[in-house]
Chains A and B, each alone.
Chain A
Amino acid sequence: MLDDATPTIGPIAGLGAIDCDVHPRLPVTADLLPYFDAYWREQAPYRNIDRLELTGHPVSLPPYRREGAANGTAAEIASGLLDPNGLSAAILTLVNGTQALYDPYMADAFCQATNRWLAAEYLDADPRLRAALVVPFQHPEAAAEEIRRHADDRRFVAVVALAMGERPLGQRANWPIYRAAAESGFALSIQSGNVYRHAPTQAGFPSYLVEERTHMAQAAASQTMSLLSEGVMTEFPDMKIVMAGTGATWIFGMSWRVAKDWRGARVETPWIRESPEKILERQLRLTVGPFDAPSDMDPVLVDVIGSPDMLLYSSDYPHAHAGPAGAWPRALPEDLAPALARTNPQETYPRLEV
């Protein structure tokens, strides 16, 4: 039943596919020193700030490292993913602790240095690579500035947010970030990850990492709910929202419920002027690596989800999912490949030129 039989790259072969969710290695302070200003160049080593790896998303551990994907450099991504799958582009999203730091100025400095490091180490190294900006949600004005500074570098196509963050993403405090992103056509890429300001569940911290990972889908759903209810999806129609690496199929449990509740509770949020599932279909995108469904799935699932336009091809490389890197999910009809791997990414990321 499970998607581990013998998945193959299958239908994306020969398409020049665009992979919407790939992860670079985490930079350590030594990597970032050249990109810090004088203050942080002295402070970062002095205060022993090194690798900002998240407890809720521990990418140094085996579940996040498929065999053979040891160092995560641009060259390794090319040989392990881009070349064998014939990709025309891959969007790198770095999930680390820059958004978990408590000091907003430190967060800003680490985000800026990380983006410069990404450009130098990855984007300059391989023209197929694109990246999402890391920005300090702790300091929305600084985050907006960082986005505007990169408006002309079209290799950056998105902004990273975490599924389990400090406050629900739709709230107005974050709007300067979205205003800047929408101005220049950045998408918002929401990734598995946890800053531990709050418990991952409404009943506290679970014992096991597998539980926390399972909960990432409901965290993505909560963020979707927030971005919809607060009006971000309608106020910033030029910013698509991408839920990356959280399994995709949770969407119908959420969209049906919110559409139903809206019929009765619309008066609370009357700026939502059409049925929510229509707004979600327009603004929300879901990556399909990994894809939560059995391999012998009834193809009606795509209709149940809403529309194939909402789905984006992705590998979640180098995370250790079953089968070869970037395998097409067996639960999805193969004839969707051109849409998911080409058309939909191009419409989701207007800055992406391939």
Chain B
Amino acid sequence: MTTAVLEKDTKSDAKLGVIDCDIHPSLSNPAEILPFLPLRWRDHIEDYGLRSPNPFYAALPYPRMGNGMRQDSYPPGGGPAASDLAFMQEQHLDPLGIEVGLLHALNAGPSLMNIEMGAAVCAAYNDWQIDKWCGPDPRLKGGICVPQEDAGLAVKEIEDRKSDDRFVQVAFVPKSLEPAGRRRYWPIWEACEALDLPVGVHSAAYGQRANTASGWASFYVEEHYSFAHVAQTVLISMIFEGVFERFPKLKLVLVEGGFAWLAPLMWRMDREWEEMRGEVPHVKMTPSDYVRRNVWVTTQPVEEPPNPKHVRPLLDWIGIDRLMFSTDYPHWDFDHPERTFKVGLSEAEMQAIMRGNAAAVYGL
């Protein structure tokens, strides 16, 4: 079925220069971060380790097939996937025509149970992003990692980086201690709005709460799916807590949750708000109106319905202007810019998703 559209060659559109909204740089080895930490914390980590709410000290709680990486993404000189800039350039940035790549430096800093150490680890990852990636290759842009559970420390970290325009967003881990719209995080949202820094929310394996409302799931496929749920939680909480009323220019970018869930969630929030709006009088607009004003989603992992044509109505329900392309390089569920959309998109739509929307959101 639909063989013609499947074969559609989108090369010409993509060659305009892609903005990839999700690239994961890696340490070459765990010790690589240490020089970016004050001696006090280096010693502490050596003696007492990095304590995060993960049952395993140095392994993922849901072991992934092929370690969750593209099997061809390991640098020929050795080391983890995406730990070598030259190979990332050779394999990813150059051949795919990535004009700008937004880094999500996944790390335990925001989730460490020792908040002060978390602040130091976040700062170290911020320095490391500049030192190893954004400095040597100006196509790469950083995301400011923050110790989000202490808003004061988080705002300080943002302030420390605000004059460095190689950082284009603030990274927030959605598995926060409380839902993202709660007041404890408002100083962070206030700083982001004031500095016009979008909030990039990327799924994470770390968190203190179970990955379903009925407790911990058994399988990686369930955990992987739960990433889309916690992105929803960020959105639901920010809307119903009135964050977008209080900070109307705040930009929220939900990364790596896919996007098929967004349409039914908008419909559901709108209906529930109609029935329950007396409980949240501070929510002035229909929830989906806030989505259309303040919220964007990245495309990966791209939706591949059994009937590929069904992506088209979905795009219309969400709005092309909400979508920003991402690859998730070097992770296993990577999307290739020329092979991602298997339905016909107009030149203008393709351009908006591949670069235009992100250029506007991030002011690139």
A binding-site residues for B, Cβ under 8 Å: 1-4, 63, 163-171, 194, 197-211, 213-215, 217-219, 221-223, 225-226, 229-230, 247, 249-250, 252-254, 256-262, 264-265, 267-269, 275, 277, 290, 292-294, 298, 300-301, 303-304, 320-322
**Contact among A171, A222, A249, A298 with B264 in the assembled complex (CB-CB below 8 Å):** A249
B236 beta carbon closer than 8 Å to chain A: yes
| Sampled A-B contacts (8; CB under 8 Å) | A4-B274, A204-B209, A209-B276, A211-B240, A213-B272, A257-B303, A268-B221, A300-B313
User: Interface code B259-288, partner A: CB below 8 Å = 1, 0 otherwise?
Assistant: 011111101111111111101100000000
Residue in contact with A250 in the complex, picked from B177, B224, B264, B279, CB distance below 8 Å: B264
Our pick among A205, A209, A294, A322 for the contact of B279 (Cβ within 8 Å) is: A209
Cβ-neighbour of B280 out of A168, A210, A229, A258 (below 8 A)? A210
Residues of B within 8 A of A215 (CB): 213, 232-233, 236
B333's partner among A208, A222, A264 (CB-CB below 8 A) is A264
Looking at A4, A163, A211, A223, the one whose CB has the most chain B CB atoms below 10 A away is A211
- Complex CA gap A228/B292 in Å reads 34
Provided the pairs A203-B178, A229-B219 are in contact, do residues A265 and B224 lie with their beta carbons within 8 angstroms?
Answer: yes
Contact B226 A222 (CB under 8 A): yes
Q: Are A222 and B214 CB-contacts (below 8 A) given A63-B276, A214-B269, A247-B268? A: yes
Interface residues of B (CB under 8 A from A): 65, 174-182, 207, 209-222, 224-226, 228-230, 232-234, 236-237, 240-241, 258, 260-265, 267-277, 279-280, 301, 303-307, 310, 313-314, 332-333
- Tell me the smallest distance from the CB of B303 to a CB of chain A, in Å: 5
A203-B207, A204-B179 given as contacts; is B228 within 8 A of A292 (CB)? no
CA distance A163 to B304 in the complex (A): 27
> In the complex the two chains form, what is the Cα distance from A221 to B228 in whole Å?
11
When C-beta atoms are compared, the residue in chain B nearest to A252 turns out to be: B260
Residues of A contacting B303 in the complex (Cβ-Cβ under 8 angstroms): 256-257, 260
Please judge, given known A-B contacts A206-B179, A292-B271, whether A257 and B65 are in contact too, CB under 8 Å: no
Chain B's closest residue to A253 (CB) is B261
Specify which chain B residues have a CB less than 8 angstroms from the CB of A252 in the assembled complex: 260, 264, 305, 310
B213 touches A292 (CB 8 A): no
Interchain CB contact (< 8 A) of B267 among A167, A171, A277, A292: A292
A201 adjacent to B214 (CB under 8 Å): no
Interchain CA distance A198-B215 in the complex, whole Å = 6
Contacts of A275 in B (CB 8 A): 306
A221 and B215 in contact (CB under 8 A), knowing A226-B222, A253-B261?
no
Please name all residues of chain B whose beta carbon is closer than 8 Å to the beta carbon of A259 when the two chains form the complex: 304-306
- In the bound assembly, the distance between CA atoms of A225 and B229 in angstroms comes to 12
Docked complex Cα distance between A213 and B287 (Å): 14
- Asked if residues A206 and B221 are in contact (CB atoms below 8 Å), the reply is no
Interface contact B225-A257, CB-CB below 8 Å? yes
Write the chain B residue with the least CB distance to A220. Answer: B213
Cα(A215)–Cα(B268), bound, Å: 10
Contact B217 A168 (CB under 8 A): yes
User: Told that A253-B264, A259-B304 touch, could you supply 4 new A-B pairs with CB distance under 8 A?
Assistant: A1-B270, A63-B276, A164-B214, A213-B272
**A210 adjacent to B304 (CB under 8 Å):** no
Q: Looking at the complex, which one of A199, A207, A210, A269 makes contact with B213 (CB distance below 8 Å)? A: A199
Cα of A207 to Cα of B242 in the assembled complex, Å: 11
User: Cα distance A163–B229 when bound, in Å?
Assistant: 14
Give Cα A259–Cα B301 distance, bound, in whole angstroms: 12
**Who on chain B is nearest to A213 by CB?**
B272
Question: Looking at the complex, which one of A197, A206, A222, A254 makes contact with B236 (CB distance below 8 Å)?
Answer: A206
Q: A250-B264, A256-B260, A264-B332 are in contact. Are A210 and B279 (CB under 8 A)?
A: yes
Chain B's closest residue to A223 (CB) is B214
Nearest chain B residue, comparing its CB with the CB of A194: B213
Query: Which one of A163, A207, A225, A257 lies within 8 Å of B258 (CB-CB)?
Result: A257
Residues in B whose Cβ lies below 8 Å from that of A230? 218-219
Asked whether, in the complex, the Cβ of A203 is within 8 Å of the Cβ of B218, the reply is: no
On whether the beta carbons of B305 and A214 are closer than 8 Å, the reply is no
- How close is B235's CB to chain A, nearest CB, in angstroms? 10
Q: A226 and B241: CB pair below 8 A?
A: no
Residue of B nearest to A276 (CB): B221
Q: Which residue of B lies closest to A2 (CB)?
A: B274
Q: How far is the CB of B193 from chain A (nearest CB, A)?
A: 21
Q: Chain A residues with Cβ under 8 A from B176's Cβ?
A: 203-204
How far, in whole Å, are A277 and B276 apart by their CA atoms in the complex? 33
Which 3 A-B residue pairs are closest in the complex by CB-CB distance? Answer: A253-B261, A222-B212, A164-B213
Question: How distant is the Cα of A229 from the Cα of B211 in the complex, in angstroms?
Answer: 15
Are B214 and A168 closer than 8 Å at their CB atoms? Answer: yes
List residues of chain B with CB within 8 A of the CB of A208.
Answer: 240-241, 276, 279-280
A229, B240: Cβ atoms closer than 8 Å: no
**How long is the Cα–Cα vector from A255 to B178 in the complex, in angstroms?**
28
Instruction: Collect the chain B residues with CB atoms within 8 Å of residue A207's CB.
Output: 179, 181-182, 237, 240-241
Check A320/B275 contact, CB under 8 A, given A215-B233, A229-B219, A253-B264.
Answer: yes
> Is B207 within 8 A of A202, CB to CB?
yes
**Which A residue sits closest to B275, measured CB to CB?**
A63
Residues of A within 8 A of B218 (CB): 168, 170-171, 226, 229-230
Would you call A257 and B212 a contact (CB within 8 A)?
A: no
- Determine whether the beta carbon of A253 is less than 8 Å from that of B260: yes
